[in-house]
Structure 1
């Protein structure tokens, strides 16, 4: 019996140890479950916080970009106004003739104009001198040619005849010794050593006069004959 009691005691102790181990295992499992639940909850909260933070950062970036665009637009408008003001000021200087960008090219142009004017004046003088020399050469050549022609003749100097009477033809009329004669007038023609004859003027040319005698015959006399006195005429 005592031996049996020992055996029973051992069995009882072994059973108790098994219950303790089971209880410990159960406690350990419960703690693990709590730990996992806590971890899952914390991960969910962290994910929600990250989304909110990203949205907040995105809105901040958008606001910053909008401010930068506004600043850029303002700077661009300011630069345009300043540039326009500079252009207007420079235009006023040009109109007033004070801008260096206007005065320097103008001075260059005026200098070039003066040089070209001076060159043109020199060229003009040279052209006039050339024309004058050419004219004088032609006159001298003409004189020399005339002298050569006169020196080549084996004849006596020609005696110029003096006109005794004034006679000429103008526009179909005859002027003779202060009197005018026209076509259709009756004249008296006198020639040396011949009797005067009556005639009617029919044609007056540049160097001759045609007339018709009473018998119907036609004759002519040269104006040079009237000038030399070979013939004379008068109104009949």
Structure 2
């Protein structure tokens, strides 16, 4: 019995030693892993705190580290409880010969081991809680320090911006000044070019207006001259008609007067003569055919007027043929100009001849009485049909 009791005691001592060594190893490994994780978190947290540009991220990391530490401690406590239960159930079996006598000893050893485990758990719990409080305190201190440093940095930047000495503000101001100078140069160049273009347009308009005025003056003088020529011709015709009528009336008056004188003379001769006497007519010697027309005086006057008018018209045609050239045919038909047997239409290139000078241009418009031509220098000229007919201007294809 003594040998059995001694064996039991040895087995209990071995079990206690093994369980204590196992617990110490697991606790050491857990403490080591916890300390490594805490140190790693603190290093990452301190590195994140050193970077002021990532302040918001560091706040998120600190809250996440706090949650990680808390969950890690809870996991450690749960693992210790599970390890204790496993050690209680994994004790080596005792021989069947000493089972009946060692029940009380096992109960006592289990009670002692449970008391030790509870004390150890309480100690570990208090230790973890202390570590967690220290970590929380460090976290709060680092957070407050980060807030203060970030606040001071932001206020400093704000003061620099308000005073106009911030490097970011100065760089943007320099870029704005550079863009301002470039825009001013571009606007100045645009203004110069626009002024030059307006000056050229103004000069071209002046030249076109002066040339148009000269052309209109020429056309007006020619039109007035042609009207006066027609009036002069009409006056000449009227004068010729009046001369004919006055001559005829003078001839009639002369005949009437001569007839009256002859009658008076015959009457006087009859009065002073003794008895009626008849005058003898002289015999008329006629050589060749002799035709006597018994016409009235009114018919003779009409014939004489027609002959004089025909002679005056022929004389006038001779004068006009000497003074004016032959007119060329010029007419408007279906939106086209038919001039000297040639067809001209809008948009066609033509050459205008005025004596020895030749001007090139493009037909812009055609109407029933004139043609509008745009010259190569930008001026527009209007050519009337009567100018083309009289040969003052002539159109040719190019």
Higher percent of residues as strand: 1
Higher percent of residues as helix: 2
TM score, norm. by length of structure 1: 0.49
TM score, norm. by length of structure 2: 0.30
